[in-house]
Amino acid sequence: MPSHRGWIMPESPIRKLVPLARQAEARGLKIYHLNIGQPDIKTPQVGLDALKHIDRSILEYTQSEGLLSLRQKLAAYYNRFGIEVDPSEIIVTTGGSEAVLFAFMACLDPGDEIIVPEPAYANYTAFAISGGAIIRPLLCSIDNDFALPSFDEFEKMITKRTRAILLCNPNNPTGHIYTAEEMEHIRQLVKKYDLYLFSDEVYREFCYSDTPHISAMQLEGIEDNVILIDSVSKRYSECGIRIGALITKNKQVRKDVMKFCQARLCPPLIGQIVAEASMDVSDEYMQSVYDEYLERRNYMIKAINEIPGCYSPMPMGAFYTVARLPIDDADKFCAWLLESFEYQGKTLMIAPASGFYSANSMGRNEVRMAYVMNLEDLSVAMDLLRRALEIYPGRTM
């Protein structure tokens, strides 16, 4: 019999519609993918050149914590953002996903609770289930731009089993960036109850607010409580090389994480080589990527809000938004787009937001969309969304 763990493991809301998409493609439809955060912007040439010119006679294991030269470059990168870390405090992982999983495994026991603002990246739940931990959702509302609830409401979530708070900042899927006041409230709770603070800061480069991004590692008095999660996937359009990082000043946590690292031997050598080279990318490249996402964000949010019955807050970071649509059920609507809708041989693929909540009754009329295509394609995608909503049988207004 399969395990209970496998039975309760949730499907990805981002990928579960792939079979329907393949069927639509087999029918000859062109699909505009707003469902997944796969950047379309070219990987830095320095990274591609490093891949092409790998000159090694053996593709050997590296250290379990990753190449020292890569960790040194990562430390210099964080220092530029005012995050003071030493290479010894950085562990290279097989993607940011492994960093989250290893953080959970090293810090939490079965039955321990993690408070997570929702909607949230769906894989957090999968990683918690893998380690036997329990997600306690802290609901945030689209009507409040997905800001955190009050300090008192947050504190009421803490129980005897609470061991950690998890933030994604900037947030996937909402694009929310936590304010100085929100971060101070979290700092106080972490310190008062001696909790771990897992901080996923993968989208740090993509902050569109005038207010500076505050890293959890910049919060005073909780240095040993913070575990920072990072990845090169989105920053350099390198999702496929699977290189992330876990950063913490807590020596015991690093020691325990290393046991899991040793069990999986090492992160990918070739990925580390490409990631290290990519960190030499020019400021002009990063600025052009930032400007491109900003322009796309502005266009897409304006287009969504011009469709009758639709609403999206203005995301301040990352490259996603959660939007409310005039529909009866987002899961049905997203499937209907692939099964029953087409216009001029085209259709749209988006992610139902219910999969970003622990309770599937939440987000029933919300979807997540990623602005990871050029403006011309975004224009087509928004036109498809408008036309689809005009004829969707489950339209609510």
| Complete DSSP assignment for 76-100 | HHHHHTT----GGGEEEESHHHHHH
Residue recorded with tokens 């939007």: 323
pLDDT at 269 over 90: yes
CA-CA distances (angstroms) from residue 157 to 185, 197, 256? 13, 15, 28
pLDDT at residue 11 in the model: 79
pLDDT digit string, tens, across residues 164-173: 999 999 999 9
Domains 4-42+284-391 and 57-278 equal at CATH topology level:
no
Query: Mean pLDDT over residues 180-195, rounded?
Result: 98
Q: Helix 330-339 and helix 18-26: axis angle, to 10°?
A: 20
As a whole-number percent, the residues of the chain with pLDDT over 70 amount to 100
pLDDT at 123 over 90: yes
pLDDT digit string, tens, across residues 135-164: 999 999 999 999 999 999 999 999 999 999
Position 222 confidence tier, pLDDT thresholds 50, 70, 90: very high
pLDDT at residue 96 in the model: 98
Mean pLDDT, the chain, integer: 97
- Reduced to 3 states (helix: H, G, I; strand: E, B; else coil), residue 31 is strand
Domain ranges within the chain, ordered by starting residue: 4-42+284-391, 57-278
Residue 199 tokens, joined? 């901080």
* Phi, psi of 207, deg, nearest 5: -120, 120
Position 7 confidence tier, pLDDT thresholds 50, 70, 90: confident
Position 5 confidence tier, pLDDT thresholds 50, 70, 90: confident
pLDDT at residue 210 in the model: 87
CB 131 within 8 A of CB 105: yes
d(CA 271, CA 96): 13
Domain covering 4-42+284-391 in this structure, CATH number? 3.90.1150.10
d(CA 53, CA 57): 12
pLDDT at residue 154 in the model: 97
CB 280 within 8 A of CB 236: no
The pTM assigned to this predicted structure is 0.96
Report the CATH architecture of 57-278. 3-Layer(aba) Sandwich (3.40)
